[in-house]
């Protein structure tokens, strides 16, 4: 294939990953520090890209040279950062999460597919004390911040700025049509985290633990309402006729990851969540298409419990709610 054709294909791929309101010419001119006229000539294939320009495009758009040159290899390029207590700022982390979701929401054609080994973090932001607990657990136990080593959980741990960013995240997530896959194990991670702190003496007040269980129960009941209506809406609101479509599938055995596939126009993005807080991102077409087919297969092997399937839906959510209520009822009086 001629290099000019490959070059045009490259720019077509870049354009697919841009939000609809962004001009490809303006983008390329800015990234390569050239005029708009020079950018047009490169996009049309009239002028070949220099190797240094290929490097700039690869770095800026997180593309592999294999993909840029249309080489068929078994490699796929991911990007992301590895979080440590030396480099982590939770406010910045949430703003980046918000930016990613806003990018998906900027497309007319958009969808989220979420395989949820753990409850999707977006939901926690509607329940402040529960969100504060998750933040505290990440700081104290996952990242092991020294200043948290001897701290006790307090519901006021999270700043108002972080809470506000969290609200924007869930509001934006509610605007994107979604398919979520849950199992009866999906609530277990949070329940085990609460158990761990109960046993470690991190809670000073019994009421704090009770409130966490109450809010976790309210979260699950909210997701159940979304499943019942087949629509996404905020916990303190009621679904409108124009509410965003929501599908929830129950899977008994196949959920082993927290993984998100986002549809953005004619392109796809995969987010692989690992190490609790880290996530890797790729737009590699082969990997994203493979993940999409995996999600379609997962759908076929799961039970749809949103909109229809009232009996299965009630059975599923009763299991989740009973798990939480059993934990609440077992709180030691001496705590």
pLDDT in tens, 51-62: 888 778 877 777
Which tokens belong to 215?
A: 């809010």
pLDDT at 67: 55
Give the pairing type, strands 110-115 and 178-182.
parallel
CB 257 within 8 A of CB 117: yes
Domain extents in the chain:
3-68, 90-329
CATH 1.10.3470 fits domain 3-68:
no
Residue ranges of the chain with per-residue pLDDT less than 70: 1-5, 63-75, 255, 332-335
User: What is the Cα–Cα distance from 191 to 100, expressed in whole angstroms?
Assistant: 28
The pLDDT, as a whole number, for residue 46 is: 79
Tens digits of residue pLDDT in 64-103: 666 555 555 566 777 777 777 777 788 888 898 899 899 8
Specify whether the CB–CB gap between 214 and 331 falls below 8 A. no
What residues does 263 pair with on adjacent strands?
111, 268
Torsions phi, psi for 187 (to 5 deg): -85, -10
Would you state the structure tokens that stand for residue 234, as one six-digit string? 């905020």
Give the other-Cβ count within 10 Å of 72's Cβ: 6
**Which helix (H) or strand (E) is 126 found in, with range?**
none
Q: Which residue spans within the chain are E strands per DSSP?
A: 110-115, 178-182, 231-232, 244-250, 258-264, 267-274, 278-282, 303-304
3-state helix, strand, coil in the chain (%, to 5): 50, 15, 35
Q: How far apart are CA 146 and CA 137, in angstroms?
A: 13
Residue 104 neighbours by CB under 8 Å, 6+ apart: 110, 112, 176, 262, 263, 264, 269
Q: What confidence tens digit (pLDDT) does each residue in 39-51 have?
A: 888 888 778 888 8
């Amino acid at each position: 294939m001629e290099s000019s054709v490959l070059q045009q294909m490259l720019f077509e791929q870049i354009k697919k990953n841009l939000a609809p309101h962004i001009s490809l010419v303006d983008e390329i001119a800015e990234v390569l520090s050239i005029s708009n006229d020079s950018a047009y000539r490169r996009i049309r294939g009239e002028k070949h890209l220099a190797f240094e320009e290929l490097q700039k495009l690869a770095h800026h758009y997180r593309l592999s040279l294999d993909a840029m040159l249309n080489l068929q290899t078994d490699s796929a390029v991911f990007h992301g950062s590895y979080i440590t207590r030396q480099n982590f700022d939770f406010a910045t982390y949430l703003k980046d999460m918000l930016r990613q979701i806003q990018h998906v929401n900027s497309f007319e054609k958009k969808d989220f597919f979420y395989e949820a080994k753990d409850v999707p973090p977006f939901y926690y932001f509607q329940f402040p004390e529960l969100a504060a607990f998750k933040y505290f657990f990440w700081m104290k136990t996952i990242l092991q911040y020294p200043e948290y080593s001897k701290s006790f959980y307090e519901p006021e741990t999270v700043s108002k700025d972080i809470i506000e960013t969290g609200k924007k995240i869930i509001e934006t997530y509610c605007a994107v049509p979604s398919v979520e896959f849950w199992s009866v194990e999906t609530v277990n991670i949070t329940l085990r985290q609460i158990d761990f702190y109960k046993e470690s003496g991190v809670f000073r007040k019994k009421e704090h633990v009770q409130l966490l269980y109450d809010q976790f129960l309210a979260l699950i009941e909210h997701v159940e309402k979304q499943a019942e209506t087949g629509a996404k809406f905020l916990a303190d609101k009621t679904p409108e006729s124009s509410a965003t479509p929501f599908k929830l599938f129950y899977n008994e055995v196949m959920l082993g990851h927290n993984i998100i596939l986002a549809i953005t126009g004619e392109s796809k993005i995969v987010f692989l969540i690992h190490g609790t807080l880290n996530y890797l991102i790729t737009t590699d077409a082969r990997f994203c298409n493979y993940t999409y087919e995996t999600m379609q297969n997962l759908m076929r092997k799961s039970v749809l419990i949103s909109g229809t399937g009232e009996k299965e839906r009630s059975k599923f959510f009763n299991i989740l709610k009973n798990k939480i209520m059993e934990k609440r009822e077992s709180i030691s009086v001496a705590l």
